[in-house]
Amino acid sequence: MKFPNEGAEYRRARDELLEAEKSLRKQVEQVAAQRRRLPPGGEVPEDYAFEGDEGSVRLSQLFGRHGTLVAYSFMYGPKMAKACPSCTSIVDALDGEAPHILQRASFVVIVKVPLARMREHARSRGWSHARLLSSARNSYNRDYGAETADGSQVPMLNVFRKDGGKVRHFWGSELVDAKTEDPSQDPRHVDAIWPLWNVLDVTPEGRGTDWNPKLAY
């Protein structure tokens, strides 16, 4: 492929980049395949009861017609005056994708605040598809990496698998807390499902080092 008026230097550099992009795509696919080969995870310690639009609902009831449940833990806890801007950016995108996701897996967004507070935030964002749940009355957040010992909230993506009568943990986005000696590594852990950064990564300015999404601009 060539674009109008591009120079030879640009094309050489772009072709080198293309090889790197092909390698990255292949690595992403290989990592996804490695993830799918994980042995069975731990059985959930209890059938957590969440607060949903329909009242109390158990974890085992969230799968619907699917055997897989994708659960995003959204940073919005009792000590927080406002919802997390970064988590909001993520769900801004996932809300639109939810009807597509639901063809293959169940998908929910879990917060620690009472459901009424999250509904208010959802209305302000125009969300209409993501299923919202509150874990205010259970230990789910603490058990699955979304809450620290002092009650601070942590963003976390967890996937569960229902096999027969058992619900097991399949995978969690542990990159959020992975140790690294590289100071340039940001603890973002769900870039693969966060369109914002993927779009900015293809711009000349990139994603930047001192900018993050906000609730309003």
pLDDT in tens, 131-178: 999 999 999 999 999 999 999 999 999 999 998 889 999 999 998 887
- Taking residue 109's Cβ as centre, other Cβ atoms within 10 Å add up to 23
| Domains, in order of start, for the chain | 49-174 (3.40.30.10)
Distances, alpha carbon 6 to alpha carbons 9, 17, 213, in Å = 8, 15, 34
Asked whether residue 179 carries a pLDDT value surpassing 80, the answer given is no
Whether the pLDDT of residue 180 is over 90: the answer is no
Residue 188: pLDDT band with limits 50, 70, 90:
confident
Q: What is the pLDDT of residue 2?
A: 93
- pTM of the complete model beyond 0.95: no
Pairing of strands 156-163, 166-172: antiparallel
With a pLDDT cut of 90, the percent of the chain lying above it is 88
What's the rounded mean pLDDT across residues 184-201?
87
